[in-house]
Amino acid sequence: MPEMIMMDAEERMEQTLLALHKEFTTVRSGRANPKMLERVNVDYYGVQTPINQVASVSVPEATQIYIKPYDKSLVSKIERAIFAANIGVTPTNDGIGIRINLPPLTEENRRESVKVIHKMAEDAKVAIRNVRRDAIMDFKKKEKDKEITEDDLHFYQDETQKLTDKFIERIDGIFRDKEKDIMSL
């Protein structure tokens, strides 16, 4: 039974890592990336719908994103949604689709992006620590209910801490890689 708690904790930590990867893809790093628009939702007949479900999003050039809606009546709604999302870009409507030209990142913008990803990484670390706390509480409850011994409790607490340290280290590595990507010219 304690092994199940450890497996659950590891799975939850892995999910936190995946969520962090997904969040990092929405941060601009100098090159055009369609994932920048993942948080943009368009009003599609009264329903807030992700932009990639109502349009094809492509990258024709390294500094440009092109959005071609499946329904031409959505062009102006997509344009408004991008403005409302406040992602730091200005869409250009060409009648058929939306073109987004990404200006080169300034040093100040790069530093701001690093601050954003640092906060994301810290939030992920907090989530990992919360998983650790939950697992240790479960082990203490098992020990209180006499399902495991006190020695087992200490063993599983140590194993949970080792698992936590491993995931925190992975988060730091992911953060350093993304920071290097953002800061490189």
Burial class (CB in 10 A: 0-12, 13-18, 19+), 128: buried
Residue 70 contacts residue 54 (beta carbons within 8 Å): yes
Q: What is the pLDDT along the chain (185 residues), one digit of tens a residue?
A: 788 999 999 999 999 999 999 888 877 777 778 888 888 889 888 889 898 899 999 888 888 899 999 988 888 888 888 888 877 778 888 888 999 888 777 888 888 889 989 999 999 999 999 999 999 999 999 999 999 999 999 999 999 999 999 999 999 999 999 998 888 75
Same fold, 2-25+106-183 and 34-101: no
Rounded Cα distance between 125 and 133, Å, is 12
Fold of 2-25+106-183: Topoisomerase I; Chain A, domain 4 (1.10.132)
Q: pTM for the complete prediction?
A: 0.75
Tell me how many helices (H) and strands (E) the chain has. Answer: 5, 6
Domain ranges of the chain: 2-25+106-183, 34-101
Question: The CATH number of 34-101 is which of 3.40.50.300, 1.10.3720.10, 3.30.420.40, 3.30.1360.40?
Answer: 3.30.1360.40
Rounded Cα distance between 163 and 5, Å, is 12
